[in-house]
A = this chain, B = another copy of it.
């Protein structure tokens, strides 16, 4: 019991530091992150960050891990809770990705901050690729269950359609970030449906549901 409390406390502190890192990135950008600021934001002392994560880089990496984990949980649960119909799964997935709390200004800002550093950091790149693969596979799997084998409208393979849908959602996040006042989740969702409707006629009808 004594031991458990200590271990729990440690986990709690780590969690606080990761959340503080998130907040600092959101507020000051990637280049504005300082171990001191993180500690202060977490209401802890100077050395604690290095104590728990050894290096700043490690702390940043674990924060990115946490971000991906949350994102993955979101889409997995959206699919799991949407019922068996693929069209419902896809609909719910899109909504989940493009509405709060996933599409949230702070969160998107942090995503962007990491992505901006990704091409020049191997560790980020690898993490990113790993998660993207799973994410893309999940989307493609739903699409595949909606059509016959030799489906190829607009000369695009299913794979490319999935990629494009993902690109579109990422693009809306970016828009959310760079022009938050012009961005409306409803329109973003509609646009995704419109895109899909040119491949899958069923989506024509679902437009009203939004």
Contacts and interface: CB of A to CB of B under 8 A. Distances in A.
Nearest to A178: B128
Contacts of A8: none
Contacts of A116: 29-30, 112-117
A160 to B, nearest CB: 4
Interface stretch (A13-21, A86-94, A161-169): A161-169
B167 A188 contact: yes
B163 A175 contact: yes
Report copies per complex: 4
A145 interface: no
Residue of A191, A193, A199 with most chain B CB atoms under a 10 A cut-off: A191
A43 interface: no
Given A32-B120, A116-B113, A167-B172, A191 B27 contact: no
Contacts of A164: 168, 172, 187-188, 191, 194
A184 interface: yes
Nearest to A118: B178
Interface residues of A, number: 60
Contacts of A199: 194
A69 interface: no
Interface in A155-184: 155-156, 160-161, 163-164, 166-172, 174-175, 177-179, 182-184
Interface string A14-41: 0000000000001111111000000000
A177 B118 contact: yes
Interface of A: 26-32, 105, 109, 112-121, 125, 128-129, 132, 136, 153-156, 160-161, 163-164, 166-172, 174-175, 177-179, 182-184, 187-188, 190-191, 193-195, 197-199, 207-208, 210
